Structures are given as structure tokens and as C-alpha cells.
Structure 1
Amino acid sequence: MFDYSTLKKIFFKFQPETAHNIAEFGLKSTNLFPGILSFVANKFVINDKALHQNLMGANFYNPVGLAGGFDKNATMLRPLASLGFGYMEFGTITPKAQSGNEKPRLFRLVEDESIQNAMGFNNDGCEAVKKNVEKIYPFAVPLIANIGKNKITPNENAIDDYEFLTREFSDFCNMFLINVSSPNTPNLRDLQDESFINEIFSSLQKITTKPIIFKIAADLEHDKAISLCKTAANAGAAAIVINNTSIDYSLLPNIKEQKGGISGKLITQKSRELFKAVADELYGETVLISCGGIDSAKEAYNRIKMGANLVQIYTSFIFKGPSIVKDINEGLLKLLKDDGFTHISQAVGVDVKKG
């Protein structure tokens, strides 16, 4: 199997954002060579019926997805799919192109296998991203359009941005994810409010029949998170993602600069505990997706048994390389077998606190 360690040493000599741009160029280039993608897919894709699920009107061949923020402009979806992801987000997209926050804005926390990211929804804007997705949709795996508001859009007009993007992408994704939980757009997290949740679901459901997913921040008090998630579920959320990045800088006492969100191993425990709190209250009411510090089959399986139908990775993909999806899926198959399960659905929620 492909040895990522040497390539990682090379990539990690570059500034993180430069390394990402190099990786994006390399992955985009493989779009020109379908034979290469087929070869890669034969090596990395796990297609076992024990992991298949039909959720939100889409077929998921495995539960491991790529979280938003890696492929902001939907330029790498084909090569990323060849690495075995069961589903992928693209974006976060905003109506107008924006450059994001000032650089440097992406930092590796190597010893902690974590990332500090203050990107700020940098993307090429709706028109450019839509052209990229139009070329490939419908796609081999479910695609989630991660939508957000422009930095210059005041919160009182935020819903206009979400409505616009929903109209533009309704025919070019399997589902939408409402991003109001990123810490990198000023005051965005203020929209994690019950009145706004009710308003946006009511509005977007008049525009599209596609499932709409809600994603919460990592730093909410458990009672607040449960309340917001219940509101979203009652408003029609097809799924809830728990959670986005964290701004709990106490996780990293020697942090150089307190800006941006932390992802990766540093938030594993926080994310696990928040997911458990929400799942114990909402399991069975909507699809639950766990994200945050998942870097192994064991951790993914823990979240599945806590109530997650699906999981998402991002930072562990950067630190562990392209084989991580295959490794997690192969590990899940073994863990299911060890527990006497023949299908992933039998494991979902077995550890949910009853009553």
C-alpha cells in the first residue's frame, strides 16, 4: 500500500496553506487521467454491503465522509471519491467570491495531530463553484453543498445569502448543510439561535426539496446544544452534524495566537462528549453525523454505537494520508464482525443511553 510518510515530510516543509494548494493542484490534475482515478479507486474504495446505508434519500456506500472546508471550490471531488469517501461536502460556498481572512490563517499543531484554522470562508463564489459541480453532477457518492453567508452580509440579512445559494445549487447536490457554526466569520455563530433556525428551515424548505442538514459548534454548553438540535430536528433538519471546530484555546495552553478553530485530536474528547449528550436526547429523531477528532476505526465505531449513522473526517486525512478512509472502513468491518453484527445498522445507537 501507498506510503504516505515520505510525502507528508515533504508537504510539511511548506506552509500549511501552500501545501494544501499543491495538493489541490495535484488532485485536480488527475481529473485529466480517468485511468489513474480508476486504478486508485480499485486500491482504496471499500464496497461491502455491510456498510451500505440509504439515508436522506441517498445511497451511502460507507459511513466515512469528508467534512467541509477541504474542497472549497469543488475542484477535487472526483479524485477524492477515488480515495473511498462515502460522501463529501464541498464549500463552504458564499454567494460572492471572497478571499477570506488575512494570512497566515492555517497552522499545523503537529505534536497534537491537530490544525488551527482561521480561513474565513475563502472561496471562488457561487457562480464559479456551480460551474465546477455542474460538470460532474449527478455524482458517484452523495454530495453536500455547505452554504454560508458572505462576511459583508449583516446577520439581519443572512437568510438572503442562504436562500440564494439554495436556489442556485438545488439541482447540483444531494443535500445542503447550513453553516452557522464556523468561528471564522464575525458574529456568524450568533445565528445559532432558535428563532433563526426556525426561520431558515421554513424558508429553505419552500425553495428546495433536498434534505437540509444543520451543523453545530463544538463549544456549546450541552443543554444549549440539545435545545438547538431539537429545534432544528423539529423544524425539519434531515440530519445534524456534531460538531464544527472549537475555539476552546485552553486545549492548547502554548497557543501562539488565539484565532480560528481547532480541529483534530485536541478536540476528540470534547466532540465525543458533546455528541453523546445530543445523541442520548435526539437519537431516532433525525440522522446524526459525528465529526471532530475521528482518526481511527475504533473512534468512528464508538461514535456509531453512540448513535451516529455517519462520521466525518478532515484533519486526520491530512495527518494520516489517503489510506485513512480505507483503513477506517476495513476496521469497521472487523469491529462489526467481532461484535456479531452483519450490518452497520445493527451497531448504530447500541450504546445510546435509554430513558
Structure 2
Amino acid sequence: MDYDDLKPLLFKLDPEYAHHLATALLGVGETVPQLFNPWVRRNFVDDPRLHQRIFGTLFPNPVGLAAGFDKDGDLIRSMTAMGFGFTEVGTVTPKPQPGNPTPRLWRHVAEASLQNAMGFNNRGSLYMERKLKKRYPYVTPIGVNIGKNKTTPENEALRDYEHGIRVFRNLCDYLVINISSPNTPGLRDLQNETFIKALFDMARSLTEKPILLKIAPDMEVDEAVALCTGAVEAGADGIIATNTSIDYSLVKEPKEVGGISGRAIREKSFELFNAIAAELFGKTTLVSVGGIDSGYEAYRRIRAGASLVQVLTGLIFKGPGLPGSINRTLLKLLEKDGFGSITEAVGADRR
């Protein structure tokens, strides 16, 4: 039975229950990794043309798992078996928290999109620290996405990010500052130049580990470009664009809470990424996420300036074979355009 046969059955389940079922099944392979060998052979594309050395680390292919799926670092082996070239875990907060009340995850099937109001539900930094001590360094790069607890006042937010940096700076290949989720009250208010400067001044005093900033797609373009430029000047090593959107006009039957991801935000995400890349390509590392569910869309982001792309919602609608499919399509497109490697294609439309 392939995923297209299984999907109608899964979509009859509550979305969050289906997620827990999937992660439970993947967890079996985490404890018996030999079960993943057929998946690795089928899904993992290991072609030198897709290799890149970024942050001093080899990324075997440019397709990664976005934060939000493996919240606690439980499924790193599984993501490699699916074909991902890197995995971003989290968002993790200092203390465990249950997240927002259920229901908090909905499918928009016609738009191949999700809407979530999860609220950084995770087991906390101590749990993930223990998991990563068993895995890092791994065969593919690991990023840790850090956030603040819901109960932490805005004027003390810097302390939560400092905690995350201190705990994970030696347990990952890069860190991500998440101040762009719509599901923690006041979090997006931290998307301002004063906080960003204070945050990166603090971060750079603690570690030389690469630290990226993840931004929301709902900012005005000029504001987003200015914020990202300021972040790079303050010490950010890269920008991830974008998080989920609160533009509820993007789907036909939205809930009035949470953020939308998937195909519905594809153009919104690309337009903001493209504007940021127009200013910052060649000056920092750019990662694109939001509505990427095919090799053609991934290639568009790469040509626009993304060294790496990330996928999450596309997995739900396309299945676990998606990363491998994207990478195989990328190889065909590189050959078609006469590029000898993915590095030659990065930013081709900017030159």
C-alpha cells in the first residue's frame, strides 16, 4: 500500500491524532534503525551534485525538515530515512508546556494546507538535551529551533533565548531564533530591531555556533527586509523565511486562530523571501520554507537565492517520499539548465 492509498484513511482521523500515530510508528524505527534501511535506499539521494558545505558542515542535499514536526528531537533517524538532508527540531522552550487547548490543528484539503494553533507544545529543553546527547553529531546536520515559554513576560523573553542557546550550542549544527510563531501571545511583537540587536549581542557573546532568524510572512516587505538586514548586521548567520501566516483569506474555510502553512501560503512566502534575497543574497545564508511541495518549487526558491529549503506540510499531503522526489527533480533541473552542482544554481536568478 502506497501513501496515496493510505491518505484517505489517515484523513478520516483527527489531524493531531494522525500525527501522533505517525510519530509512534516512526518511533519503532528509531529504536530498531535497521527497519529504516529499505527507506534509506529508496528515499535518500546521495549525489555529489547536491552536496553543499554550509556553516562548515556538509549538507548532503538541500531539502530539510522544518521545525514543528519533530518537536522534541525524537525522530532524527526517521527524517534521514525519509531522505531529508538535514533536520530542524523544536520549537523547544526552557520549560515543558502543553501548548494551546485542543482542537488546535486543522486540514484545508482543497488548498493542500494546514492551520495550526499548537502553541509550542514540547517536553522542554532538558528532555531534548538528553535526546540530542545521544544523536549529535549525526550523519546529517541538526538544527535546533528555540522559543520562549508562554508564561514568560515579553520583557524577560531574552532570558529564555539565552537559556536555549546555552543548552544547545554544543548539541547542534545551527540554532534558530523563533519569534515569528503566531501561537504564543506577544511573540511576534519581538520582531523589532531593538530586540533583535539585544538578542544577537547576547547570542554572539555566548557562542560562535551559527544562529539564524526565522521571520513571519505577514510583515510588510520593507519592514521585513530592514529587520533581516539589521539582524545580519547584528550577527545573524542566516535568515529563514517564512513561518506560518495569519492571512486567513488564503483558505476558504479558515479558523480564526493559528497559522496557515502549505500550498496556500506558497506565493506569499515566495514574494517575501524573494524581496529579502534581493537585498541579502551573497551577504548571508538564506533558507526558504512555505508551500514547497515539489522539486520545481524548491528549484524556484534555490534560483532565487536559497541555499537550503525546508518542508513540513507537504509531507502530510504528498507523503514520506516527498524529500526524495524533490531531490531527484532537482538533479534533473540542474542538468537541464547546465549546472554542475546545486551551488551553481543558488541565486542564479539574482545574477
TM class by shorter chain equals over 0.9
Matches within 5 A, 1:87-166: 87-166=86-165
SS in 1 for 2:257: coil
CA contact (8 A) 2:10 2:18 kept: yes
- Out of 308, 317, 320, the position equivalent to 1:319 is 317
1:81-102 CA-partner distances (Å, limit 9, x unpaired) = 1111011110000000000001
Return the letter of the residue paired with 2:18.
A
TM-superposed CA distance for 1:253, in Å, is 4.1
Alpha-carbon distance in 2 for matches of 1:154, 1:32 = 39
Q: Is 1:330 the equivalent of 2:328?
A: yes
The correspondence for 1:300, drawn from 294, 298, 301, is 298
The AA in structure 1 aligned to 2:91 is T
Tell me the SS of whatever aligns to 1:322. Answer: coil
* 3-state SS of 1:70 partner: coil
Q: Deviations over 1:262-296 (max 9, x none)?
A: 00010001011111111111111101111100011
Q: Which runs of 5+ in 2 are unaligned?
A: none
Q: Deviations over 1:195-226 (max 9, x none)?
A: 11111111011112210000110101100010
Inter-partner Cα distance in structure 2 for 1:205 and 1:36: 41
Q: 1:312 & 1:78 partners in 2: Cα distance?
A: 17
1:274 aligned residue: 272
Matched to 2:334, the amino acid is: L
Shift >4 Å, 4+ stretches? none
Letter in 2 for 1:47: D
What CA distance in whole angstroms lies between the structure 1 residues aligned with 2:186 and 2:221? 21
Residue matched to 1:232: 231
Unaligned runs of 5+ in 1: none
Q: Which residue in the other structure is 1:215 paired with?
A: 214
Give SS of 1:247's match.
coil
Matches of 1:343 and 1:320, distance apart in 2: 26
- Match of 1:145, SS? strand
Paired residue type of 2:99 = G
State the alpha-carbon separation in 1 of the partners of residues 253 and 110 from structure 2. Answer: 12
Deviation larger for 95-104 or 343-352? 343-352
Secondary structure at 1:220 match in 2: coil
Quick one: distance in 2 between partners of 1:158 and 1:326? 38
Instruction: Using the TM superposition, give the Cα deviation of residue 38 of structure 1 relative to its aligned residue in structure 2, in angstroms.
Output: 2.2
Give me the CA root mean square deviation.
Answer: 1.0
